[in-house]
């Protein structure tokens, strides 16, 4: 037997190395050379990846997965951080893959300046770590970012940033999830989808949208109304974002026109010094939900007046019941309704039929010229664009099983942050997921020796070579 070519695999992990040599005795002048050095957390087992180089000059790439001892969490927002923290509390490592360059990117990059939490901070705490006592009752954008940053630091959570997941599927042969980003392929027995319901801005398809000559944006790109001073802006959508952006435009001396196509519940943020959300949550423990809604609406009409007289129709179903059955959140008024009442915010109660170069045409043919259009039309999930071979999610990218049981699928698949219940729902999911994994997590995972990890890496290297289609003789040692 004559050695004709050589493969060198250098694996560097915690100053340990594993050397693998292959030998073969047939055709040609072929030299397969793979030299890689990895630096990774203790719970990531690196395996070979690199270029296959042939002497005749052709170059090919052989992609190999990185084994993760612990769940892979897709998404570094509040839901993903909460899951990672609860897992760590149970002694379970994890790896977060985040497409952006920071945690909570929706808040850091896509939230308007004036946004605040709509309900008191104690209802918006992530598990195991509360808000600072000196924070206000309703933290603003910067304060919330400060909180989640402190949360990640407290639990030493360090996501892999700039890792956009391109695909993920369950490999039945080996019982693992394969998660592919633009840089690597990761594998784990467990996958947590924590990208949430607000992964991507939703803009409806409207005829002529590309013709508009003014400023056109989604609410995720809106920061403040400074650029719209003395300008007319059409705000499409009457949820919390639409109302608050309209108010912000007023505060910057713009002229907002609020497009309200559907009925909407508007409630005060507080009732006699208590948060409306807190009042509702307390009453629902004591009374039937329909009675609770009647009480809340009676107090709302006393505080805010009859919103229907302002062109803001209420749904026939009450706010608490509608939230329960359809996930539709009532609008929490922070001052916009008074601007509607004074005429500073004009309400048009119909949909947009067409967009022209100068403005919008409504369903009744009325045309309004404007300088800007803001789509406050919400967000959508993108899970189904990259999660393959799973029927856990609907075509809309939310779990088929409703709250409170939509956090667990099959084959080690979990979901966090898809409850339509904000941060409170994300915290609920995180605790459930961590407890479930804690009940099945073997103790030996937490005490695995480095040599054992290296052995797994070398075993994986042997499998790779076998997959290439040659018979190799391996000799390896630990140094």
pLDDT at 61 over 80: no
Over residues 327-355, mean pLDDT: 94
d(CA 298, CA 394): 37
The token pair that represents 388 in the structure block: 């393959």
Distance CA 206, CA 352 (A): 8
Sheet with 255-259, edge to edge strand ranges:
215-218, 372-375, 232-236, 255-259, 346-348
The predicted pLDDT at position 45 comes to 44
Q: What is the mean pLDDT of residues 422-451?
A: 78
Per the model's pLDDT, the better-predicted residue between 71 and 61 turns out to be 71
pLDDT higher at 478 or 222? 222
Answer yes or no: is pLDDT of 332 > 60.
yes
Tell me which long-range contacts 323-327 makes (C-beta under 8 A, separation of at least 24): 323/420, 324/289, 327/420
Per-residue pLDDT tens over the stretch 111-142 = 999 999 999 999 999 999 999 999 999 999 99
Region 292-304 average pLDDT: 96
The strand ranges marked E within 312-448 are: 331-333, 346-348, 352-355, 359-362, 367-369, 372-375, 379-380, 413-415
Report the percent of the chain where pLDDT is more than 90.
73
What's the pLDDT tens digit per position in 69-123?
899 999 999 999 999 999 999 999 999 999 999 999 999 999 999 999 999 999 9
Is the pLDDT confidence value at 16 over 60? no
Answer whether residue 392 shows pLDDT above 90.
yes
C-alpha pair distances (Å), 91 with each of 134, 148, 198, 294: 31, 21, 30, 47
CB 339 within 8 A of CB 246: yes
Please determine, for residue 358, whether its predicted confidence score (pLDDT) is greater than 70. Answer: yes
- Packing angle, helices 319-326 and 289-304, rounded to 10: 130
Q: Which residues, in sequence order, are CB contacts of 326 under 8 Å at separation 6+?
A: 317
Q: What is the mean pLDDT of the chain?
A: 83
DSSP 307: G
324 confidence band (pLDDT: 50, 70, 90): confident
Structure confidence by residue, pLDDT tens digits, 226-248: 999 999 999 999 999 999 999 99
Question: Model's pTM, two decimal places?
Answer: 0.80
Cis peptide preceding 456, ω within 30 of 0: no
pLDDT tens digits, 393-418: 999 999 999 889 999 999 999 999 99
pLDDT (average), residues 324-351: 93
- The pLDDT of residue 443 is 57
Is 460 or 86 the better-scoring residue by pLDDT?
A: 86
Backbone torsions φ then ψ of 164, nearest 5 degrees: -85, 120
Distance (Å, rounded) from C-alpha 190 to C-alpha 181? 17
Per-residue pLDDT reduced to its tens digit, 158-172: 999 999 999 999 999
Chain-centroid distance of CA 222 in Å reads 19
The number of residues in the chain equals: 479
- Per DSSP, which regions of 136-262 are E strands? 165-171, 176-181, 185-188, 191-193, 200-201, 215-218, 232-236, 255-259
Residues whose CB is less than 8 angstroms from the CB of residue 5 and which lie 6 or more positions away in sequence, other chains included: 24, 29, 30, 31, 32
189-207 pLDDT per residue, tens = 999 999 988 889 999 999 9
Please give the Cα distance from 430 to 194 (Å, whole number): 10
Residue 362 and residue 350 in contact, taking contact as beta carbons nearer than 8 Å: yes
The alpha carbon of 53 is separated from its chain's Cα centroid by a whole number of angstroms, namely 39
Confidence check: pLDDT of 460 > 90: no
Single out the residue of 143, 44, 183, 162 nearest to residue 103, CA to CA.
Answer: 162
Which whole number is the average pLDDT over 37-55?
Answer: 39
Please count the other Cβ atoms lying within 10 Å of the Cβ belonging to residue 460: 19
pLDDT at 467 over 60: no
- Strand 266-268 versus strand 95-97 pairing type: unpaired
Q: From residue 74, give the alpha-carbon distance in Å to each of 84, 163, 431.
A: 11, 9, 17
Is pLDDT of 15 > 50? Answer: no
Question: What token pair was written down for 384?
Answer: 């189904």
Query: From start to end of 28-151, where are the E strands?
Result: 44-45, 50-53, 59-62, 65-68, 72-74, 95-97
pLDDT of residue 459: 46
At 19, list the tokens.
Answer: 């050397």
Residue 327 pLDDT: 79
């Amino acid at each position: 037997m004559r050695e004709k070519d050589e493969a060198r695999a250098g694996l560097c992990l915690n100053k340990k190395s594993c050397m693998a040599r292959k030998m073969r005795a047939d055709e040609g002048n072929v030299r397969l050379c793979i030299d890689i050095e990895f630096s990774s957390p203790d719970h990531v087992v690196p395996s070979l990846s690199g270029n296959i180089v042939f002497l005749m000059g052709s170059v090919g790439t052989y992609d190999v997965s990185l084994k993760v001892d612990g769940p892979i969490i897709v998404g570094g927002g509040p839901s993903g951080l909460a899951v990672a923290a609860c897992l760590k509390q149970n002694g379970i490592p994890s790896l977060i893959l985040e497409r952006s360059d920071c945690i909570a990117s929706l808040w850091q990059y896509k939230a308007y300046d004036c946004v605040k939490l709509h309900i008191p901070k104690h209802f918006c705490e992530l598990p195991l770590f509360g808000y600072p006592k000196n924070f206000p009752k309703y933290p603003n954008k910067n304060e919330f970012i400060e909180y989640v940053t402190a949360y990640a630091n407290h639990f030493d959570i360090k996501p892999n940033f700039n890792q956009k997941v391109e695909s993920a599927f369950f490999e039945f042969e080996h019982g693992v999830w394969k998660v592919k980003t633009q840089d690597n392929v990761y594998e784990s027995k467990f996958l947590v989808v924590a990208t949430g319901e607000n992964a991507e801005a939703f803009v409806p398809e409207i005829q002529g949208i590309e013709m508009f000559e003014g400023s056109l944006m989604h609410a995720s790109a809106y920061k403040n109304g400074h650029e719209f001073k003395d300008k007319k802006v059409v705000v499409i959508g009457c949820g919390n974002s639409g109302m608050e952006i309209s108010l912000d435009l007023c505060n910057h001396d713009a002229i907002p026109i609020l497009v309200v196509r559907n009925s909407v519940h508007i409630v005060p943020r507080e009732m006699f010094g208590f948060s409306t959300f807190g009042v509702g949550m307390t009453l629902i423990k004591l009374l039937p939900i329909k009675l609770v809604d009647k009480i809340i609406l009676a107090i709302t009409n006393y505080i805010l007046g009859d919103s229907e007289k302002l062109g803001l129709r209420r749904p026939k179903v009450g706010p608490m019941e509608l939230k329960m059955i359809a996930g539709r959140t009532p609008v929490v008024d922070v001052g916009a309704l008074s601007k509607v009442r004074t005429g500073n915010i004009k309400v048009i109660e119909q949909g947009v039929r067409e967009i022209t170069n100068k403005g919008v045409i409504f369903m009744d043919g009325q045309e309004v010229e404007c300088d800007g259009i803001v789509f406050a039309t919400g967000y959508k999930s993108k899970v189904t664009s990259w999660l393959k071979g799973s029927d856990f999610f609907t075509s809309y990218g939310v779990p088929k099983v409703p709250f409170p049981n939509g956090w667990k699928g099959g084959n080690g698949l979990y979901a966090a942050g898809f409850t339509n219940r904000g941060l409170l729902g994300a915290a609920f999911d995180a605790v459930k997921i961590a407890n479930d994994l804690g009940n099945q997590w073997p103790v030996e995972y937490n005490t695995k020796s480095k040599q054992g990890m290296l052995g797994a890496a070398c075993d994986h290297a042997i499998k790779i070579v076998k997959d290439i289609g040659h018979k190799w003789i391996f000799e390896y040692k630990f140094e």
